[in-house]
A and B are shown apart, each in its own frame.
Chain A
């Protein structure tokens, strides 16, 4: 918001540009800008030519300066009064809200997916921090592997952070018969692999620090990216994120923000604009691109 400064010394009544030897007559009443123009002048919202006219008038008209001061005072007291209503947003509220938006968008696509009879993808999340070992036989397994068709949407949601570590996660869901994977918060340059999987679901491996947390109808994964993936005992160059998708879902789209990274359909991979990838025996490996401005 641009606001004009009063063109006179705030401490005095006289305009700074007024000559000492002769006081010009006050403008005629019909020349006074109306209150709306004065308010717009304060807010910097007048067209330049009109703003100049009002500015000149204010230099000459003490009564309008009083109005301007009143309007300014009232605007400031309004701001103070309304601020009383505010309470601090919960920590990480914006990140959480962004996740909610992505999840809700995907969830809103469910009817189309049901009509097409697409089998639901189960989600299995394996984390580096030993969570995978806890899966076999655990109640989580039954929750994560869900072929009922009623729960097409799974959101992997980072709800906890460690200082200095970026938060990142995924949202998965069906839209018009396609499986859509949306990456959220993955910094530029992080490596992502899209691979063929076995079984009947989607498997996600991520170098995150955390464990599982489940809630009604969703899977959440609190976590944060490690600065670098840990080196594997077997050597190699592990990707930050590996998504393995079993046969069945048909077309798969992977996005990051608004950018299409890769479309996988009929055994072929079509890369999004400006995306480069290395082929793998069972998929592709690419890097998260710079966010599009």
Chain B
């Protein structure tokens, strides 16, 4: 796959992954693009799957580094829920918009309460990475990915239904 085709295929997923990880559009786009900048200067082996998992791995490491630099924690933990975007645009039904934003906030906070490995596995799987790719990015055994995925989904479900501390 040439660079443009690869970019068209992977960039939207990588951006979404970073966006879900950070809830910060600027940081997500910057990180996803930085991963591709690094790809241009490297020869990554393993075919398309190898390149794709390499990109997600680089982005994951970049997010981790940047989160550390930025107050040593992911922005997910911020309680205000800013995602770097303007607030919800006034729509025909402000109440509906408000409700949607509240749902986002609940999911963000639930994700933030997961440990990093669970969060990474969940979000990577949502982008279509295979177990082998997940193992490569998250640094776990392929044979344990199914167990870890099932466990992380259960934890997310529990966090989503847990009473919110006030």
Contacts and interface: CB of A to CB of B under 8 A. Distances in A.
Contact size range, B: 35 or more
B153 A258 contact: no
The 3 A-B pairs at the shortest CB distance, nearest first, are namely: A36-B147, A36-B146, A40-B146
A258 B7 CA distance: 12
A290 to B, nearest CB: 9
B1 A105 contact: no
Contacts of B108: 85
A178 to B, nearest CB: 15
Nearest to A100: B33
A257 B33 contact: no
A89 B15 contact: yes
Interface string B51-93: 0000000000000000000000000000000010100000000
Contact residues of A: prevailing secondary structure: helix
A35 interface: yes
Interface of B: 1-5, 7-8, 11-12, 15-16, 19-20, 23, 25, 29, 32-34, 36-37, 40-41, 83, 85, 100, 103-104, 107-108, 110-111, 122-123, 126, 128, 130-131, 143-151, 153-154, 156-157, 160
Given A87-B85, A89-B12, A94-B12, A101 B37 contact: yes
Nearest to B2: A291
B126 A291 contact: no
A104 B37 contact: yes
Contact of A75 (B12, B111, B147, B153): B153
Contacts of B12: 89, 93-94
A289 to B, nearest CB: 11
23 contacts: A1-B128, A1-B130, A36-B148, A37-B146, A39-B150, A43-B149, A74-B153, A77-B157, A78-B153, A81-B107, A81-B156, A82-B111, A84-B107, A86-B16, A86-B19, A87-B19, A87-B83, A94-B12, A97-B29, A98-B11, A101-B7, A257-B4, A293-B2
Q: Which of A36, A75, A105, A184 has the most CB of B within 10 A?
A: A36
Interface in A155-209: 184-185
A280 B5 CA distance: 33
A63 interface: no
Given A78-B157, A94-B11, A257-B4, A35 B107 contact: no
Nearest to B83: A87
A71 interface: yes
Interface string A63-78: 0000000010011011
Nearest to B4: A257
Given A97-B33, A98-B11, A79 B126 contact: yes
A187 to B, nearest CB: 11
A85 B40 contact: no
Given A35-B146, A293-B2, A78 B40 contact: no
B35 to A, nearest CB: 9
Q: For A43, A85, A291, which residue has the most chain B Cβ atoms within 10 angstroms?
A: A85
B4 A291 contact: yes
